[in-house]
Each structure stands twice: as C-alpha cells, then as structure tokens.
Structure 1
Amino acid sequence: MQSFIGTGVALVTPFKEDFSIDTEALRRIVNFSIDGGIEYLVVLGTTAENATLSQEEKELVIKTVIDANNGSLPLVLGVGGNNTMKVVDELKTRDLSSFAAILSVSPYYNKPTQEGIYQHFKAVAEASPIPVILYNVPGRTASNMLPSTVLRLANDFKNVVAIKEAAGDLVQAMQLLKNKPKDFLVISGDDMIALPMVLAGGSGVISVIGQGFPKEFSEMIRLGLNRKVDEAFKTQYILDDCIDMIFEQGNPAGIKQVFLSLGIAENVVRLPLIKADEILAERIDQFVKKINKIG
C-alpha cells in the first residue's frame, strides 16, 4: 500500500461553458498534477461532481483520465453510494484493471447505524476485486463512521486497506492512528489538518487543493512524512488562506476558480452548485498570482 502514502488528489470534472465535459482541460489537470509531484489520482470522487454526471459522462471521465495518466500514477476510483446492492453490482461488473483501489464513501442520506455501516462495507469488501479505501465524511453523509467500526472492518477484511478520514476531528483521527492494524493507512480527507494528521502518524492526504498547487502541497506532505516539521508548516501557513477560500462557497467551485486563474480550465460547475462570486474569485486570483511570484 506504499502507493497511497503521500498526496492523492480528488480530481475535478472540468466543464465547458455549455456544461459539457471538457476532456482537454481534464487532461491538462492530470498532467499538471503529475508534473507537480502528486503520488496518486482519485477519479469520480465528490469533487468530481459525480452526483451530476450521467453514466456515459462517468465513462468518459474514466477513459480520459486513464489515457492522460498513461500509467504514470496509481489511480483510485470512487465507487460508493447509499444503495448497497447497486454498489456491489458495480464492483462485480466494472473493469477495474486500471485501478489500484476503490474509494467508497459511507452511505449517505439513509443514516444507517454503525452496524448498518459495517454490513454495507462487509458487502463492498467481499465484492471488490481490488483494495478498498473507506471514506468517512460526516458533513456530507449525515452519519459518522466511528473508529470502532473502522477498526472492526480493518481487522476483519484484508482488502480494507485504508480510510480517508474527513470528519475534521483530530481526536477521532488519533484514536484511529493509535489502535489501527500496523499496515492500515489513515489518510486525511481535510486539507487544513492534513499536515497535523501526518505528524500524528497518518499516511498522507486525498486533497482538493493539491491539484491546484501540486508542487507546494505534495512537498509539504513529504516534509511532514520525513518529520521536517518547521519546513512543512512554513508551506502550510502560506497555503492556509487559500484552503479556506476554496471551500468558502462550496467544493469544487473554489478549486475550479483556481484553475481558471491558472489558465488550465473554466470555473463552470453544475447546479445545484454555482461558481464562486466575483469577490471570492478576485481573492483567489490574487492568491494564485502571489504563489506564482513566490515559485
């Protein structure tokens, strides 16, 4: 599982002004991430606006990323949902040969009990032919996958290899880190506390901002992994303002504005999301210009 130590990025799905998928922009984003030193790429996560894509569009995104990546980095595919049978069916029928793992979100909206979450992921683990990275994001799912449930899954299923922990709770993350099996990876799902989680024993991050500033962010995480604390926090404190900004009006509106400022992709999102307003867009644009001057 060395592939998932460091920085992965949850890729956006860039759109043209007519809301169709901009495959050329997606290729540019993949190449920008690779050139910036990112360790792996996550396809069709929340940041990809997965919920607004048709099945045909999802296939187009997958094909485009696989082609653009051309074997350079490990790929992780988002395969999750709140219909367990549907998730299991996808795992049994989809060609996963290009992917190193799946990222599977805890069931949302239904608000299952901890036992329900366990049984859901038991079915996922038994159906998946490749490693499974759990994804806990209570702010979106309306239920928190507790450390006891995560550790039970990690101990019961060899192919449950990691968790993307995005509860925004360092104490909860530390409970996982303290009690996890030796080879189980705890990966931050929050850009702002990714470095503290790494310093506490985490394995890295699946990041949003990392695709906008891949060189700076991935180097910060590597410095943290190598216990070069002062150097790592120097970068953290530079990026802090923009981390706040990109989530201020919803994800991925903020990171898409970063890509517009970089000249890589448009800042188009699909309803019910809306693009960053003019004030936020200007603030992000000024930050990008400042980072480019520093670089």
Structure 2
Amino acid sequence: MANSTPPPPGVYVPAVLFFDENEDLDLSSIKAHVLRLAQGGVTGILVQGSNGEAQHLSHEERKTTIRLARDTLNENGFKDVLVIAGTGGQSTRETKKLCSDAQEAGATHALVLTPAVWAPQMTVDKILKFHRDVADASPIPTMIYNFPTVTAGLNLDSDTIGALGQHPNIVGTKLSCADVGKLHRLASTLPAEKFATFPGSSAVFLQGLISGSAGVIGALPNVAPKAHAELYRLWKEGKLAEAQKLQALLGHADWELQKLGSIAGIKAIVSKHFRYGNTNVRGPLTPRDLEAAGPSATTKLEELIALEKSL
C-alpha cells in the first residue's frame, strides 16, 4: 500500500468484449481489439468496465480476459500500456476476491462500483465503509467508479469521494456521472500525484482537462483511440482552438453512440469499420442493427471514423 500511485494521465478505454454465436468469449476478436486500441495510442485499457459487460461474466471469465489483455499487450511491445480491472461486486467479500483475482491476472489498478442491489440501505457511512474495507484488502490500488445509471441511481458526491481519496490505497475516480463541477472540486482538492480524477465520457474530455482531470476513461475510444490521443496532444501543446474543434466532433459522436445503445452500438460500429469482431452481446442485451438505425443515426460517427483512419 505504501507504493500506491494513481494511473498516469492519458486516454483510457473501457474495452468491449466480443462473443461468438453461443455467447462464449471470442478470444481472437478480443485480442484484435486490445491491439488496435494500443496501436491507437491509449494509455491504458479498462477490462470489465460497464462496456465490458462485467456483470455478465463469471469469475473465471473475468480472470481470463484480464490476462488475455495483459498478454496481448506484452507480446506486441505495449508493456507500458496499463490494464485496469473493473472489480465491483454486490458484496464486500466478492469485491475483495475480484481485486485479488485482478492482481493475479495482471491488472495494476482496480475500478470499484458501489453495490446497489440494496440501494435504499446504502447510506454514506456504508458506502465509505465498503470502499475502505475493499481498499484495505486489495493488493492493488483501487479507484472509485461513480456511475448512477448502473448503481440504481446512487450518485456519490464530491464530499464522499473526497473523503475516500484520503485512504492510502484509493488513488482515483471515474465519474460517469459526467459532472464537471464535481470533477473540478475533486481535482482542485486532492493532489494529482495521489489521486487521479477522470471523466467517464468523451463528451466532456476537454472540459475535464481544463478543470484539472487526468484525461478520460470513456466508451468512444473503442471506436476512435487515435482521435482521443490527438485531442490530448493538442491540449498538452496549448492548441486550444484545435482541441475545441475536435472536442465538438467527439461530443456529437458520443451522443450518437449513446443513442445506438453504447455496448451493442460499439460492437456494431467496430465490426463494420475495422474488420474484426461481431455484434453479439450477452442477453438480456440485444445486438444493434446499424442498417435499421439508418444513415442519419451515425453521421458524426462516420465523420469521426474517417478522421481516425487518416491519423
């Protein structure tokens, strides 16, 4: 715990997983996706974020996909690209086990959702205790994953996350609430060398950087990792006008992706434009048919993909 440090600033992607027609892991497509993301310049890959259908996987499948991501990166010269594992469970006991499994499989950090089956009973005191107990036991640093959409509306405020940020083994947060005000409060309170604050959406990537974020952990880099790395480069070089123009495109494309259903939409877009993978998801999710959605549903995504392929 003494060496607990946050992940370095940059572009992180909660990678989708691919399944075959029987809903079994499509290992070759998963490897192809991890490799394209790394080649696109991402700083790290989040395995089993919400886009990775974490709640649809067994514990063994979770370990397999973390190890597959780590091995694929190592074998292709991307040893410096991090693997972060989503380890949220519905009990403290299970979450501790998932953190231990993640470390054994090659992850450097764990991203932890707040349990929400019993949402009315999850008082602030219980939320604080859960995350601290997990961090005490975790062999790798943990991060707080705040995503009200998948936690029955539980939305941790900046006071709660800030209090958790004092723990020596809690080193960051992913704010999929897309609350830039909350992000700014945290980034201006907790030192960056101890705590990394990331927005969870490309729609506020640049806005987050301006407010002191460490980068982004977002779904859209599944489609366009190079474009996100380009925006980050423009920001670091002080080219704000160019960064704003690219941010506008990311914001529109991210909105289209949300309307396509995010997970299923990502798989449909990736399999169509990058020649690997398929549209299979695990039930109760259903695949997305881009033809049925119509060309107007992906106007900005098509523009972003054209840019991606030019970079």
Give your verdict on TM over 0.5: yes
Measured on the aligned residues, the alpha-carbon RMSD in Å equals: 2.1
Q: Give the number of aligned pairs.
A: 294
**Distance in 1 between the 2:105 and 2:60 partners?**
19
Q: Is the 8 A contact 1:6 1:221 kept in 2?
A: yes
**Distance in 2 between the 1:218 and 1:291 partners?**
13
Q: Which amino acid aligns with 2:94?
A: K
Corresponding residue of 2:51: 47
Q: Does 1:129 align with 2:139?
A: yes
Q: Does 1:165 align with 2:175?
A: yes
Q: In the TM superposition, what is the alpha-carbon distance from 1:259 to its structure 2 partner? A: 0.7
Corresponding residue of 1:83: 91
Q: Is the 8 A contact 1:256 1:266 kept in 2?
A: yes
2:13 aligns with one of 9, 15, 18: 9
Q: Secondary structure at the match of 1:196?
A: helix
1:280 aligns with one of 293, 302, 309: 293
Matches for 1:171-210 after TM superposition, within 5 Å: 171-183=181-193, 184-210=195-221
**Distance in 2 between the 1:107 and 1:185 partners?**
22
Judging changes above 3 Å, is the alpha-carbon distance between structure 1 residues 266 and 117 closer, same or farther for their aligned structure 2 residues?
A: same
Ranges in structure 1 where 5+ consecutive residues have no aligned partner: none
Normalised to the residue count of structure 2, the TM-score between the two structures is 0.87
**Distance in 1 between the 2:288 and 2:24 partners?**
19
Per-residue Cα deviation, 1:83-142 (whole angstroms, up to 9, x for no partner) = 112212333466436222111112223221111110001101100111111111112212
Judging changes above 3 Å, is the alpha-carbon distance between structure 1 residues 161 and 2 closer, same or farther for their aligned structure 2 residues?
A: closer
Per-residue Cα deviation, 1:170-189 (whole angstroms, up to 9, x for no partner) = 22222222322342111111
**Distance in 1 between the 2:100 and 2:11 partners?**
28
Q: Is the 8 A contact 1:245 1:280 kept in 2?
A: no
Q: Which amino acid aligns with 1:170?
A: V
1:34 aligns with one of 9, 32, 38: 38
Q: Secondary structure at the match of 1:232?
A: helix
Q: Is the 8 A contact 1:114 1:146 kept in 2?
A: no
Q: Is the 8 A contact 2:13 2:218 kept in 1?
A: yes
Per-residue Cα deviation, 1:169-219 (whole angstroms, up to 9, x for no partner) = 222222222322342111111221122011111111111111210101122
Corresponding residue of 1:18: 22
Q: In the TM superposition, what is the alpha-carbon distance from 1:10 to its structure 2 partner? A: 0.4
